[in-house]
Structure 1
Amino acid sequence: MAIKCRKELTGGLYTGLNTKHIVMASKMVAEYSGLHVQPHKAIVGANAFAHESGIHQDGMLKFKGTYEIISPEDIGLTRANDSGIILGKLSGRHALKSRLMEFGYNINGKELDDVFKRFKEVAEKKKCVSDEDIEALISDELFQPEIVWSLGDLQVTCGTLGLSTATVKLISSDGEEKIQCSIGTGPVDAAYKAVDNIIQVPVTLVEYTMSGVTEGLDAIASTRVVIRGDDNSRTSTHALTGETVYRTFSGSGASMDVTVSSVRAYVSALNKLLGFRSSPNRSGEMIQQK
C-alpha cells in the first residue's frame, strides 16, 4: 500500500498486486495461525478506519480523504454502516450475501448455503446478528481443512449431580455415521473422549483457548485447539538442532454452545492431522520451528 500510495517516491514502481485481497488474506492468515490482528494494526486492524475524535468525525463527514490516505475499499473493506442493513432471523440469503461482500467474501453455491444455514441457526436465538458473529461463522465454515469427519449431533449431560457424559455423532466424508458415548471430568472432556473413540487416532491436546466473539450471554464462542499426534508417522526434523519433533495441528470452531464450539475445533484439528500424508520426502523434511 505504501508503494501504491507513494508512486512519486518510488519512481512509478508497480507491483501488480490486487490490493482488494489484503483484508481477506489477513483474515485467512489470522485464522490458520491462531494469531489475532491487534486493533491498532495499520491497514488491516479493526481501528484502522475508525474515527472517535469529534474533529476527525467532522472532517470525515465533510471529506473522507481528510484523515484517510487509503480508502477502505482499496483493501477490500466496505463500511458496514453505509449499507444500513441489519441482519436478523427474518433476513434472507441476498442480504447475507450483500454483507459478506462488504467483508470481502464473494461466495456462492454450497459455501453460501452452508454459511446461510449456520447464520439462520444463530439468528433464531439472537435478536440481532452482529458483524463479529458473521465473521466468526464464515471463518468457521471457509477456513477449514479437507473434511474427513464432520460433527453431526452432540448431546451432553453435566453438573454437580453426577458424571459428565457426552454422546457424539460424526459423519465421514463418504456419509458413514458413527456414534459413541463417553464420560469425563466435564462436558468438553467427555465429548473429546467420545470423538477419540470414533476416530481412534492417538493424540495429545496441547492447547485449548476459548473467547466470546461479542458481549452478552448469547455471544458466539470461538474455540481454538492445538493437538499433537502421538505416533511416529507425523514427525519432522528441526532445521537447527536436527532433533525429531512431533508436528502439531490446529483447529478452530464457533458456535453459541461452548461444547459444540469445542468439538468443532477438535474435529477440525483432527481433520488436518488425518489429511497429512506421511511420505519419505515429508518424514525427512527440514523445517524451521518458530
Structure 2
Amino acid sequence: MTPETPSATAAAKPRVFIFDTTLRDGEQSPGASMTHNEKLELAGLMEEMGVDIIEAGFPAASDGDFAAVSEIAARSKSAIICGLARSTPADIARCGEAVKKAARPRIHTFISTSPVHMKHKLKMGPNAVLEAVGRSVTQARGLTDDVEWSAEDATRTEFDFLCKCIDIAIASGARTINVPDTVGYSHPHEYGDLIRRLIENIPNSDKVIWSAHCHNDLGLAVANSLAAVANGARQVECAINGLGERAGNAALEEIVMAMKVRGDTLPYETGVDTTYLARASGMVSRITGFPVQYNKAIVGKNAFAHESGIHQDGMLKNSETYEIMKPEDVGVSKTSLVMGKLSGRNAFRDKLESMGYTLEPDALNDAFKRFKDLADRKKHVFDDDIIALVDEQLAGIGERIGFKRLRVVAGTEGPQTAEIDLIIDGVEQFSLARGNGPVDAVFNAIRQLVPHQAVLELYQVHAVTGGTDAQATVSVRLNGDGIMATGRSSDPDTLVASAKAYLHALNKFEVRKAKRKAA
C-alpha cells in the first residue's frame, strides 16, 4: 500500500511524497521526548495538513512507544502510519502489531551497511548483513504489503555492496528504498549522483519509490534532499523544524516551500497544505520546549520581518521586493492586533478557529477566562499572545504536578524568597524557600515539594511580543540519571512562567523516571 501517484495530466508535476519522522527521529533529540497525548495531537495535525507518511515511532523501544504508534494507527484516516524496526524478528513482529489497525500500515525496517557500522556496531560480516536484509523484509512483507527498507549509513557504504543489499530488499518485497545520509556527510552533487547511479544500476529500480533521509550535520540536509529529488527520489524523509538527532533532519517546511516557491527549477508537488506550516512549527516547539530560532527559514519569527530602512521602503512599494512568498502561504496571519478585554466568547472562539485551534467546551471556557485575565493585565493582546496562552494551557493537560499560586520577594535587600502552592496528585501542598535570586528561590521551593536529582541545564527567557507588558516565554531543560526533559510556558509574569516551565519539564522527567524504573 504505497502512496498513490495522482493521475497524470499534461500539466501535472511529478509527485513527491512527504514522510514525516518528527515523532520518531525527531523525538530522539536529547530532551525532545513527547508524552502520549502530545504524540496523538501532533499526528492528528500532520494528517490534517496532508503529510503522506507519518513515522509514528519505534514500537520495540518501549511500551509507551508501542501504545502511541498503535493509537495513532487506529485513529488514522488517510495517511500511511509507519513504525520503525531493526532487522530482528522481535522488532518486526512488534512493529507489525503496532501498525496493524492503520487504514494504511507500513513497516520500515533497516540495517547498517557501511564498513564502519558493520564492524563496530553490528559486529557482522557482509554475508550476514545480506542474509538479514532478505529475512527481515520477507518477514515484514508477511505482515503488511507496504514495506520500506533502509540502508543505515548508506552514503559511507561501498557502492557495489549497497547495490547487492538493495537488490535483495526489492526481491524480498520492499516497495520503498531509503538511502539515508545518516551522519550528514554528503554534499548535494555527491548525494544526488548516488541516487541516480543506484536507480541506473539496480534491476527493477522502477518498481519501487526511492527515498531520501538526510541529516544536517553540515547544514546540507535540505539541499541534499532536493538533489535526490532532482535525480529520481520521490519520497523525502524530514521533520518539522528540522528536529532530529545531533544537528537534526531536513526541515519539512523548507522542503515543501522550496518546491512550491521554486517550481521553475524544482518542478514537483507535494500534498501538504502549506498554510499549516506555522502552526505545526509552533506546536512542535511548544511540545518539545525547543524554541524556533528567530531567523529560521519559513517559520522563524523574523522570516517576514523587515527592519532595514531600505527593505521597509521596498516593502511599502511592493512586497515582492524583499518577500519571495506571502506570510499567509505558510499560515502566518498578517493581522495581529484584533482582540481585547471587550471581546466576547464567540469572537474569541472564531479567532482560535482561524488560528487552527478547535477546543472542547470546557477547554474553551478555561481558555476564554485566561484570555480575559490576560487582557486585564496587558494593554494589547496580539495573536502571538493568544497562541502562547492556548499552547501553555494544552501543555498542562494531564500533568501530575499542577501550579496554583506563587508569591516571590526579590530586590537588593534580600534574601530572595518564594512561596508556592502546587497541586500534587490532587492534593494542594505549600512550600517556602530561599534562593540566590528570585528564580532560584522559585525552583528551590518546587524542589522541596518534589525532591529530585535532575540538574537545570538550560534556562531561557524571551518576549512573545514587544512592550514592557509582553508575555515572557520561558524554556528549561532538566537532566539527571541519563533522563532529559524540557518544558516551556508563557505568562506576563516572568517568574510565573519560570515556575510553570519548570513544572512542565519536571512532570515529563518524573514520568520518564517511573517508566525506566518499571522497565
TM-score normalised by the chain length of structure 1 = 0.74
Partner of 2:93: none
Q: Does 2:504 align with 1:268?
A: yes
Deviation digits for residues 133-163 of structure 1 (CA, Å, limit 9, x no counterpart): 2233233223457411110111222334442
| 2:484 corresponds to | 248
Aligned position for 2:418: 166
What fraction of aligned residue pairs are identical, expressed as a percent?
Answer: 37
- What are the Cα deviations for residues 231-256 of structure 1, in whole angstroms up to 9, with x where unaligned? x4xxxxxxxxxxxxx22211112212
Secondary structure (helix, strand or coil) at the match of 1:105 reads coil
Distance in 2 (CA, whole Å) between partners of 1:10 and 1:2 is 8
1:249 match: secondary structure: strand
* Distance (whole Å) between structure 2 residues aligned to residue 129 and residue 147 of structure 1: 27
- 1:182 aligned residue: 433
Q: Deviations over 1:178-203 (max 9, x none)?
A: 11222222222222122112112222
Partner of 1:135: 387
Quote the residue 1:75 is aligned against.
Answer: 330
| Structure 1 spans left out of the alignment, 5+ residues | 233-245, 284-290
Aligned twin of 1:197 = 448
Distance 2:355 2:486 in 1: 24
> Partners of 2:315 and 2:279 in 1: how far apart?
27
Partner of 2:100: none
The letter of the residue matching 1:77 is V
Number of the residue aligned with 1:221: 472
Partner of 1:37: 293
Segments of 5+ residues of structure 2 without an aligned counterpart are: 1-256
TM-score (norm 2): 0.44
Q: Residue 292 of structure 2 contacts residue 300 of structure 2 at CA under 8 Å; is this kept in 1?
A: no
Could you tell which deviates more after superposition, 185-194 or 134-143?
Answer: 134-143
- Aligned length in residues: 257
Offset at residue 35 of structure 1 (A): 3.2
> Aligned pair 1:207/2:474, yes or no?
no
Q: In the alignment, which residue of structure 2 is the partner of 1:117?
A: 369
Which structure has the greater CA radius of gyration? 2
TM-aligned CA deviation for residue 266 of structure 1:
0.7
Q: Contact (CA 8 Å) 2:314, 2:321: kept in 1 or not?
A: no
Helix, strand or coil at the partner of 2:339: coil
Q: Give the letter aligned to residue 283 of structure 2.
A: M
Kindly indicate whether residue 515 of structure 2 is the aligned counterpart of residue 278 of structure 1: yes
Indicate whether 1:259 and 2:495 are aligned: yes
Q: Deviations over 1:52-104 (max 9, x none)?
A: 544443445xxxx89766454443333216xxx63222122233333334433
Letter in 2 for 1:220: Q
Q: Which has the higher contact order (CA 8 A, sep 6+)?
A: 1
SS in 2 for 1:95: helix
- Which AA in structure 2 matches 1:180? S
